[in-house]
A and B are shown apart, each in its own frame.
Chain A
């Protein structure tokens, strides 16, 4: 009987997948990244099916989604590793001559200069195994800016302090000698070393123990407050989302189906969101699974 009342039965699948249209930014906020009707197919598989989302300047936006829902694919579009095949992504003020950047049409040079404003924290930290922590964190300074060694060193030490790592002790270690949590922090240090305006995090807390998870979440908040960047965090960890987000968006079946502040998200009755919030095993996310 109770089953009949679960949202699964009140929400049809079309309603479940109905895209939430981006609202105009609240007072005092301006849109930095505008994604409209973004599609991505891999062969016959339609992964992104019309993502529309606004990212406001200076906010931390968390994008929630189950595994395999296309979170990383969406993020790779924001890194310009994938260009929009269909739909548009525009970034305000980071295009040629301070104009808007249109990701589909931007030249390689424009993309490169856009990426100078971008820090990315990859899922597995993506540190280069053959390099020391110093060389890893300082890599863009060494390879792109070609700064002298002592300057690289002092900036690396500063970045490592920022992520609360004992810089002097680990500078000359290889990534293999670090714990998972430390590697993630080193990855964050590398992402912030060029003082980016946008930081993208791909599942920053996945695979870490609970204490380290909190550490990384606090670090995300801390960076947000201290260097005032715009952060986009992709995760399936709803607890982390509520801890660090200004706004939370939900990616489901290739679309953003809900997007709002923490309070709005809590109040949202979308069954997928409710299932994520309650961790229930029955609901649209686990549809078709054997009980």
Chain B
């Protein structure tokens, strides 16, 4: 009897202290993340201030676009195409029950131009390129290469960060356009093969959207995603500490934080588009 009570109390104490610790840890993490976010914003502003030096980083810029942009086309097209096909199949089944499969083009078009294109592009780029940027810059920090640049009076923001963020801002909207196109094509193929919706009919249904501003809203969003991914990756990479282990941490946290911030900003941007841009551009 006595023993059981003692045990209970001990268990309670442990639980309580663990809860306290967990709360403390959560608070600590939040504070740290807020500080990181602030630091990243400053880095982004610093990069904007370096834009006047774009001419001087042309070789790096070209190399980064090649790596980030061209290297991602195939995998992005594959994923976008498959998604378009899967979506056409899933929605097609339901729509054809009601005889509405003629609207597949409009539905797939809307989904891709507004969300799927920019988001898939962001996911692929942050996993492929964002992680690589963080790892590369992190390794450079650990090897004192960034210190070497600073000692030679070469501004790391100009020399390393500007070309990387700029390369993403240039290539991601283009990649988004490609994803939109391939996704629609995939959807059109499945619509024709499975639901007897001709390509012409699919196009006709999608054309309303294609002519509207939705395509440009999606492209605009992907430009913002590019800034977010590039800034987070560069910030995490440049603030790497603790050697190889730190590089791993920088890479992982880049991917996690970039996903979160891309989705949060997607939500905010959609609200902005609805409230501000649609009344003007339709």
Interface residues of A (CB under 8 A from B): 76, 79, 81, 112, 115-116, 118, 120, 122-124, 126-128, 130, 139-140, 143-144, 190, 194
- The A-B contact count (CB < 8 A) is 45
User: In the complex, which residues 46-66 of chain B have their Cβ closer than 8 Å to any Cβ of chain A?
Assistant: 56, 63
Q: Are B159 and A143 in contact (CB under 8 A)?
A: yes
The 9 lowest CB-CB distance pairs between A and B, nearest first, are A126-B148, A126-B144, A140-B152, A122-B144, A143-B154, A126-B145, A120-B151, A112-B153, A79-B151
Please name the residue on chain B nearest to A128 by beta carbon.
B145
Q: How far is the CB of B214 from chain A (nearest CB, A)?
A: 39
Q: How far is the CB of B15 from chain A (nearest CB, A)?
A: 30
18 sample A-B contacts, Cβ–Cβ < 8 Å, listed by A number: A76-B147, A79-B147, A81-B147, A81-B150, A115-B153, A116-B153, A120-B147, A120-B148, A120-B151, A122-B144, A122-B147, A122-B148, A126-B144, A126-B145, A126-B148, A128-B140, A139-B154, A194-B152
Q: Are A140 and B145 in contact (CB under 8 A)?
A: no
B151 interface neighbour in A81, A124, A128, Cβ under 8 Å: A81
Interface residues of B (CB under 8 A from A): 56, 63, 140, 143-145, 147-148, 150-154, 159
B56, B63, B140, B152: residue with the most chain A Cβ atoms closer than 10 Å: B152
Q: Which residues of B contact A139 (CB under 8 A)?
A: 152, 154
Q: Are A115 and B152 in contact (CB under 8 A)?
A: yes
Q: Which residues of A contact B152 (CB under 8 A)?
A: 115, 139-140, 143-144, 194
B63, B143, B153: residue with the most chain A Cβ atoms closer than 10 Å: B153
Q: How far is the CB of A210 from chain B (nearest CB, A)?
A: 24
Please name the residue on chain B nearest to A124 by beta carbon.
B143
Please name the residue on chain A nearest to B154 by beta carbon.
A143
Q: Are B151 and A118 in contact (CB under 8 A)?
A: yes
Q: Which residues of B contact A143 (CB under 8 A)?
A: 56, 152, 154, 159
Q: Which residues of B contact A144 (CB under 8 A)?
A: 152-154
Q: Which residues of A contact B154 (CB under 8 A)?
A: 139-140, 143-144
Q: How far is the CB of A110 from chain B (nearest CB, A)?
A: 12
Q: Which residues of B contact A127 (CB under 8 A)?
A: 145
Please name the residue on chain B nearest to A120 by beta carbon.
B151
Q: Which residues of A contact B150 (CB under 8 A)?
A: 81
Q: Are A140 and B153 in contact (CB under 8 A)?
A: yes
B147 interface neighbour in A112, A116, A126, Cβ under 8 Å: A126
Please name the residue on chain B nearest to A112 by beta carbon.
B153
Q: How far is the CB of A120 from chain B (nearest CB, A)?
A: 5
Q: How far is the CA of A122 from the CA of B152 in the complex (A)?
A: 12
Q: Which residues of B contact A81 (CB under 8 A)?
A: 147, 150-151
Q: How far is the CA of A127 from the CA of B153 in the complex (A)?
A: 15
A76, A120, A126, A130: residue with the most chain B Cβ atoms closer than 10 Å: A126
Q: Which residues of B contact A115 (CB under 8 A)?
A: 151-153
Q: How far is the CA of A111 from the CA of B152 in the complex (A)?
A: 11
